[in-house]
Amino acid sequence: MQNPIHLEISRRNLLISSAASAAVAGAATGQVAAQEARDSMQFMSKVTLTVNGESRSLDVDNRTTLLDALREHLHLTGTKKGCDHGQCGACTVMVDGRRVNSCLSLAVMHEGDQVTTIEGLGKPGALHPMQAAFVKHDGFQCGYCTPGQICSSVAVLEEIRANVPSHVTGDLMTQTAVTPAEIRERMSGNICRCGAYSNIIDAIVEAAGTKT
């Protein structure tokens, strides 16, 4: 008759073995749970927004910015990608009349919103008064920041108009509300590396006296 095998397991080894078994079981359970959670997540969303007066529906990755939706999905490349960190203003568009740095805003956040880009303000031969003023006063050099500058300028005048009496218009509007200091402060988020700031101010002041 064979002698029985005597197994000597110390308390330390028993604890280590138990912990290892629990870790393996936990890792397996965690992997399954993570897989199930990932499978149930939606990475794509459908968003419908009105861009330059036209209803547009897009299927986008939830991480897609409004800027990339405009440029890559709708091919409206007038809106420029500058710093992509919300510091230069080149990507400025108007959402429901308010200016927005489109690089910092997700497309899925704008379901049902009205978005206006530089393409929606005017066309060759039928320029928006702000566009015409920028041309007249040479409010650009390389032109890269210009779409954001113009969109921001249009919104700035609306911001100012919202805070002045309705009877103050035209030249009186220009003289009393649209001062160079006021414009510089409100336009401080739009950077022009070429340094055309004085011409930009002149363009905005002139456009302020035009009914838009």
Give the model's pLDDT for residue 163: 78
C-alpha 71/C-alpha 81 separation (Å) is 9
Q: Provide the 8-state DSSP code for 151.
A: H
Tell me the C-alpha distance between 32 and 171, whole Å.
Answer: 70
The domains spanning 43-120 and 123-212 adopt the same CATH topology: no
Portion of the chain with pLDDT greater than 90, in percent: 67
Q: What is the pLDDT of residues 125-135, one digit of tens each?
A: 999 999 999 99
Cα-based torsion angle of the residue sequence 68, 71, 75, 78 in order, rounded to the nearest 10 degrees: 160
For the domain made up of 43-120, give the CATH fold.
Answer: Ubiquitin-like (UB roll) (3.10.20)
Among 157, 128, 191, 193, residue whose Cα is nearest residue 136: 128
- The CA dihedral of 97, 137, 164, 52, to the nearest 10 degrees, is -10
In the chain, domain spans: 43-120, 123-212
Mean of the pLDDT values across residues 110-125? 95
* pLDDT tens figures, 17-72: 776 676 666 666 666 666 666 665 679 999 999 999 999 999 999 999 999 999 99
DSSP letter assigned to residue 193: T
Bridge partners (DSSP) listed for residue 99: 94
Q: How far is CA 111 from CA 2, 51, 176, in A?
A: 79, 11, 38
3-state helix, strand, coil in the chain (%, to 5): 45, 15, 40
Question: Angle at CA 95, nearest 5°, toward 90 and 96?
Answer: 150
Mean pLDDT confidence for 82-90: 96
pTM tops 0.85: no
Fill in the DSSP letter of residue 72.
Answer: I
Distances from the Cα of 16 to the Cα of 6, 23, 24, 27, 30, angstroms: 20, 11, 12, 16, 21
Asked if pLDDT for residue 212 goes beyond 50, the answer is: no
61-90 average pLDDT score? 97
Tokens for 139? 């409010």
CATH superfamily of 123-212: [2Fe-2S]-binding domain (1.10.150.120)
